[in-house]
Structure 1
C-alpha cells in the first residue's frame, strides 16, 4: 500500500497542474490501482471538484470526463444506443460493480496500464484526449508520448457510425485479462487493437479479410498468465471472433 501525507482538492485546473509538477505529489482518480502499489506520496491531488465526472452527448460526439467512472461507461444510455454492448463488454469483467463505481476513465487511460480493457476499447474508436497543456491529441498518438505531468481532462469520442466489438480472454471472470481485443469497422476500414500482451494495448489498421493476419503483427510477451506463444495464438482466435461478429452484425 502507499502512504499519503497530505490530501488536497484543488478548486481550479491550474492549481491542480501546479501542484502536480512536484514529483512527490500525485493526481488520484478512483485510486483503485494506485493503492495497490508501494511508496510514499507527499500530496494526493483529487480532481473530483472540477466537474469532470460526467458524460455529455451532442449530435456528433461524446465527451467523457476524466473522473467519470467505469460504471458510468457501462450503463450510459447514449453510449449503448451508439455502440451497442461495446462498453458493457469492455467493463463487465473488471472486478465488480462496487469497484467500477470507483475506478475512473481518466485513471485507466492516463495510466496506460498493460492490462487495461478500457485502453484497448477506446483505441478502435475515433478517440481523442484533451490535455490541460498540450490540448487535443488523438489517443493513438497519446499512448506513444513520453509520460509527463500534464492533466487529462476528458476523452472525446466521435459518433461516426462505426460498428465495434470487444473480446477478452481470462482465466476467471474477474481476473486480469490474459489478452484483450477490440475491433471496429467503418467504410471497409477496420481498426484492430490488442492489449494485455502483456504490454499496453496498441492499434493497427486493416480490413475485415486480413484481421487474423493483422493480429500476428503485434508483439506478444510472457508473464504469469501466459506465454508469448499462447498469446499470439489467442490474438488470432480473438481477431477471428471479432471478424465474424463484424461480418454478421453481432455488435
Structure 2
C-alpha cells in the first residue's frame, strides 16, 4: 500500500501548480487507485479546499470540477437527462458506491488508466480537459499527452445533441472491464471509443458512416467491424487480444443498434 509522509493543502491553483513542480510531490485526487501501489509519497497535494468538487450546468455545457466524485457525476440529474442515462450506465459498474464516493473525476481522467470506464465514456462525448497552464484541450488529445506537472482543473462536456450508449464486459461484477465500448451518434457522424484493450481508450469518428435511424443489421454490423479494426488489442490476465477484438465488434454493434434501431445484436 502507498504511504504518505506529508499532506499539503494549497490555497490557490497557482500554489498547487508551483508545489506540483517538485518530483517528490503528487496531486492526491481521491487516493483510491494510488493507494493500491507501493509508492512512498513525500508530499501529497490535496486540492479539496479549492472548490473543485462541483458540477456547473449552463445552456451549452457541463463544467465538472476535478475533485467531483464519480458518485456525484453518476447521480447528476442534468447530465442524466441530457445524455439519456449514458454516463450513469458507464459509472455504476465501477467497484461499488463507497468507492465511487471517494474516487474523483480528475483522478480518473488524469490517470489515463487503460481500464478506465470514465475515460472511455467521456471520450465518446464532446469533452475537454481544462488544464491550469495548458488551457482547454480536447479529451482525445489529452489522453495521448504524456503526464506532466500541470493541474487538471475541470472536465467540460458540451451539449451538442449527440446520443450515446455504453457497453462493457467484466469477468466479475466489480472487476475491471475486459473491454469497454462507448458509441455516440450526432446527425451523420458516428463516434466510437474503445477502452480496456487493455490499453487506454481511443476514439475514432466517421462522418460518412452511411448509418442513420432504421439502418439494417447488416449495415450496422459492417460499420462495427470497421470501427473495431481501427484499434489494437492485447492480452493480459483477464483476456486475450483476439477475444477482446471479438467483443469490441459485438459491443459496438449493440450500442449502435440501441441508438439506431434494428434487431437486438
Fold-level similarity (TM above 0.5): yes
Q: Deviations over 1:148-201 (max 9, x none)?
A: 110000011111111011110001111110000001000110110000000000
In the alignment, what sits opposite 2:102? 102
Task: Supply the distance in 1 between the matched residues of 2:261 and 2:79 (Cα, whole angstroms).
Answer: 21
Q: How does 1:6-17 map to 2 (within 5 A)?
A: 6-17=6-17
Q: How does 1:190-229 map to 2 (within 5 A)?
A: 190-206=190-206, 207=209, 208=211, 209=220, 210-229=223-242
SS in 1 for 2:179: strand
Shift of residue 88, structure 1, vs aligned partner: 1.1
SS in 1 for 2:5: strand
CA contact (8 A) 1:216 1:235 kept: no
Q: TM-score, length-normalised on structure 2? A: 0.92
Task: Supply the distance in 1 between the matched residues of 2:63 and 2:228 (Cα, whole angstroms).
Answer: 30
Matched, 1:26 2:26: yes
SS in 2 for 1:101: helix
Shift of residue 226, structure 1, vs aligned partner: 0.3
Matched, 1:236 2:249: yes
In the alignment, what sits opposite 1:118? 118
SS in 1 for 2:62: strand
- 5+ residue gaps, structure 1: none
Shift of residue 212, structure 1, vs aligned partner: 2.9
Q: How many residues end up aligned between the 2 structures?
A: 250
Give the root-mean-square deviation of aligned CA atoms.
1.2
Task: Supply the distance in 2 between the matched residues of 1:214 and 1:164 (Cα, whole angstroms).
Answer: 16
Task: Supply the distance in 1 between the matched residues of 2:39 and 2:137 (Cα, whole angstroms).
Answer: 31
Q: Which has the higher strand share?
A: 1
Task: Supply the distance in 2 between the matched residues of 1:152 and 1:39 (Cα, whole angstroms).
Answer: 22
CA contact (8 A) 1:17 1:150 kept: yes
Q: How does 1:1-251 map to 2 (within 5 A)?
A: 1-206=1-206, 207=209, 208=211, 209=220, 210-248=223-261
- 5+ residue gaps, structure 2: 212-219
Shift of residue 211, structure 1, vs aligned partner: 2.8
Task: Supply the distance in 2 between the matched residues of 1:211 and 1:64 (Cα, whole angstroms).
Answer: 31
Q: Deviations over 1:205-244 (max 9, x none)?
A: 1334413321122100000000000000001110110110
